[in-house]
Amino acid sequence: MAKVPSAVVAAGGLVGGYGVARWTRKRQLGGAVLAVAGAAAARQWRERAGGPAAGALTATYVVAFAGSHPLAKKVGAWPAVLGVAGVVGVASWVVADRRG
């Protein structure tokens, strides 16, 4: 069975975490989705690209999450989340997924 690409897991974690938090009105539940997806992506990054790359991609994931908040004040919540998810997805694909 083929694995889901880490780019999809990471971008999906950002979008899914926000969506769950917004629709359930429970930020902690959205945070759990974000954390679980981030951990799963980090494990894939470490397996596919090694520890230093996994560390850099994990930092990118966290910075994207944090950066989406001020960005949302300028462009709106969904555009901000989709934008940072796209950045994380592309970075993940370039660093880890395209090799396999």
pLDDT digit string, tens, across residues 23-64: 999 999 999 999 999 999 999 999 999 999 999 999 999 999
Q: For the packed helices 27-49 and 6-24, what is the interaxial angle rounded to 10 degrees?
A: 180
pLDDT given for residue 7 in this prediction? 97
φ/ψ bin of 25: left (φ > 0), alpha (ψ from -120 to 50), beta (otherwise): left
3-state secondary structure of 34: helix
Q: What angle do CA 71, 86, 80 make, to 5 degrees?
A: 20
* 48 and 6 Cβ atoms separated by less than 8 Å: yes
User: Per residue in 3-19, pLDDT tens?
Assistant: 899 999 999 999 999 99
